[in-house]
A and B are shown apart, each in its own frame.
Chain A
Amino acid sequence: MSAIFTIPIEWYILLSTVLFSIGVLGVLFRRNAIIIFMSIELMLNAVNLLLVAFSSYLSDSKGQVFVFFIMAVAAAEVAVGLAILMMVYRNSKSSDINDLSKLKW
């Protein structure tokens, strides 16, 4: 029993678009760097979901293999990103991105 026979792909596209937009909302809405990070993960997952959906509907396993790679990149990104956040927090005692405003004129 599979969803692909009963659910049109447009629903999956809509779902991942909504999840992606929620991710964007999180990035814009919050100032805590870790929450922003998590929102980015949410966006990545939205894209993953879309890839898997297309892969299933087109009967092409390459899309799912691609998701593996995205997971590998996400894992690497999280490891490095969180390490950077730790360093930032250690230096500025804050995880507020508005405190990271050294990069200006």
Chain B
Amino acid sequence: MIKLVGLIPLLPLIGFVIIGLTGKKLSKQLVSIIGCGSVLGAFAIALEIFFQLTGQAEKSVTIDLFSWITAGKLSIPFSFLIDPLSSLFLLIITGVGFLIHLYSVGYMSHDEGFARFFAYLNLFIFFMLLLVLGSNYLIMFVGWEGVGLCSYLLIGFWFKNTAYNNAAKKAFVMNRIGDLGFLLGIILIFVTFGSITYHDVFLQAKNFASGNPALTAITLLLFIGAMGKSAQLPLYTWLPDAMAGPTPVSALIHAATMVTAGIYMIARSNILYTLSPIAMETVAIIGICTALFAATIGLAQNDIKKILAYSTVSQLGYMFLALGVGAYTGAVFHVMTHAFFKALLFLGAGSVIHAMSGEQDIRMMGGLKKHLPITHITFLLGTLAIAGCPPFSGFFSKDEILANAFENNKLLWFLGVLGAAMTTFYMFRLYFLTFKGDFRGTKEQHHHLHESPKSMTIPLVILAVLSVIGGFVGIPEALGGKHFLEEFLKPVFEDSSFRMVHSISHQTEYALMGIAVLVMGGALYYAYTVYVKNKTLPAAEDEELKPIHLLVYKKYWVDELYENVITKPLNFFSDALHKVVDNQVVDGLVNGTGRFVTWISGILRYAQTGNLGFYLFVMVIGIVIILCSRML
């Protein structure tokens, strides 16, 4: 069955080709069957491979498909690597991907670009699968660029809107910055190890001393790539803007799968990172800073999708924190649970937006509990999961990250708990303002309120169930459970295990959990008092805000800062280059050459007398000269 792995990415690719080429002629029904069916097929194979992998002793299988690039010493096969890490990601991508495809059938049913949307989604799934399946960095890079392209296409899906296009461009360009780092990292890997295949690289890396400068450079460069793709400081501003795309896109690409590519890449290269403490520290610091920074911004936003976007950035920060402290399993665990509950929340938000006829401002919502019962319940479960309420999935994964952070550095743990409190607060603020209280929208919207169709609610329910029980694969030892996930992923992180000693005692762990739950409860209660008891409403657009509030509401003016510090000087610089270097120097040079040639040939053409006798004479003299020079 593992031999069939080539089919996993092939199915969505076929789906993309069929829908992409003939989409307009096919009926919507057929498009959705092909679109969803191809991903479902991939999911079935992935599931089969997953079970086969758990059953067999050999945990890492490389499947050679064909020889891809061969030039001199460089030989890159096009081969797939099946190991616990990639098979887990396969499940997440195809599973969540399928649910979101299904959801899109309902959500996009009135859109004229229905077929185009499914073609893009299938293409995205293809590239994402390529990214996680590749057995070397180059295939990962191909997938990496591919998902970036699909992200661009899908953010700008409604291309008639200039703002959406700008958001798409922003995402693309920002990712490009990160990709450059990634590419340089790959080149450096090749220079250092002479190969870019995971197996060869990691085998050699084991012999390197910890803190080797080459490894540090490689890991930092790779991390720049991860920063761009996974929206970390300072390259995060594209993700909130990426919410311009349709909501299923936000759920699939900008929450569940693509943005976790950076985590996958670092988890994949765990040996390299483990051997370079500086890079680990950088990852941890950037992670926690992003987690806190994005969480504070999330506190004051009013757009339902923007809040979820900042929460995604913040949760990604947690994952990087986990990677940075060496808790690779924790990071992957959080990727998984986050994929469940964030996809759920986004889809729930999509359902709300659908019901509200496109309204995204939570100040205009409220009291939707009555009208959207299924959405309400599932959204509540998702909120509880992300807030880390036991025994929901978020609790276990976040607890593991925080416990590992505690072990590593107390300050990191404290900041992590602080961030978790903020997460709880803004998520419940979102929940309360949306579903509790009275309806604040227009009469028309009120009249239109309705629960979403089945194709949208079924994925919600499935994801809600997963959000609730998803954490049980990783119950910590302290609670008497068995950490299945850690067991499963052990072969992948084996060589980095010396960093991951579980020296923490059970008592400490209970205390940490207790504190986390208490803090969560406190934040929940605070949100309840503010938004339900006192019925406070977020300030309206024109209202004066307190300085700190304004600072957070305006997202620390980071966008404006980038605009003024980077974009405008760059624009000015390129303008100057255009006007001076291009128009004057380059054009001058080119035109000057042309004029010079015209002038010289104007003189030379007088040699063309038109006298045939003269030509013949010159020719004979030329022959004589040539023969003479041959003789000498």
Contact = CB atoms under 8 A, between A and B. Distances in A.
Interface of A: 24, 27-28, 31, 97-98, 100-105
B612 A97 contact: yes
Q: How large is the interface on B (under 10, 10 to 19, 20 to 34, 35 or more residues)?
A: 10 to 19
Interface stretch (B14-22, B84-92, B516-524, B603-611): B603-611
Interface in B198-242: none
A27 B616 contact: yes
A104 B613 contact: no
Contacts of A98: 611-613
Interface in B505-519: none
Interface string B77-115: 000000000000000000000000000000000000000
Given A104-B608, A104-B609, 18 more contacts: A24-B620, A27-B616, A27-B620, A28-B616, A28-B620, A31-B613, A97-B612, A97-B613, A98-B611, A98-B613, A101-B610, A101-B612, A102-B610, A103-B610, A104-B610, A104-B611, A105-B606, A105-B610
A24 B609 CA distance: 21
Contacts of B605: 105
Contacts of B498: none
A28 B606 contact: no
B620 A100 contact: no
A28 B617 contact: yes
Contacts of A102: 610
A103 B613 CA distance: 13
A103 B612 CA distance: 9
**When A and B form their complex, which 4 residue pairs have the shortest distance between CB atoms, in order from nearest?**
A104-B610, A101-B610, A97-B612, A105-B605
Contacts of A27: 616, 620
A104 B604 CA distance: 12
A103 B617 CA distance: 16
A101 B620 contact: no
16 contacts: A27-B616, A28-B616, A28-B617, A28-B620, A97-B612, A97-B613, A98-B611, A98-B613, A100-B610, A101-B609, A101-B610, A101-B612, A103-B608, A104-B608, A104-B609, A104-B611
Contacts of B617: 28
B237 to A, nearest CB: 65
A73 to B, nearest CB: 20
Nearest to B605: A105
Nearest to B602: A105
B491 to A, nearest CB: 73
A16 to B, nearest CB: 15
Contacts of B613: 28, 31, 97-98
Contacts of A100: 610, 612
A102 B606 CA distance: 13
A105 B612 CA distance: 14
A104 B611 CA distance: 8
A84 B39 CA distance: 75
Contact of B611 (A24, A28, A101, A105): A101
A23 to B, nearest CB: 11
B415 to A, nearest CB: 83
B610 to A, nearest CB: 3
A31 B605 CA distance: 24
Contacts of A103: 608, 610
A101 B616 CA distance: 13
Chain A CB count within 10 A is highest, among B605, B609, B610, B612, for B612
Interface string B584-618: 00000000000000000000011011111100110
A28 B610 CA distance: 15
Nearest to B610: A104
A100 B616 CA distance: 13
A104 B614 CA distance: 12
Contacts of B620: 24, 27-28
A98 B620 CA distance: 18
A98 B613 CA distance: 7
Nearest to B607: A105
A37 B500 CA distance: 96
B63 to A, nearest CB: 60
A104 B615 CA distance: 11
A97 B617 CA distance: 13
A105 B613 CA distance: 16
Interface string B229-261: 000000000000000000000000000000000
Contacts of A104: 608-611
A105 B608 contact: yes
A102 B608 CA distance: 10
Contacts of A97: 612-613
B270 to A, nearest CB: 73
A39 to B, nearest CB: 10
A28 to B, nearest CB: 6
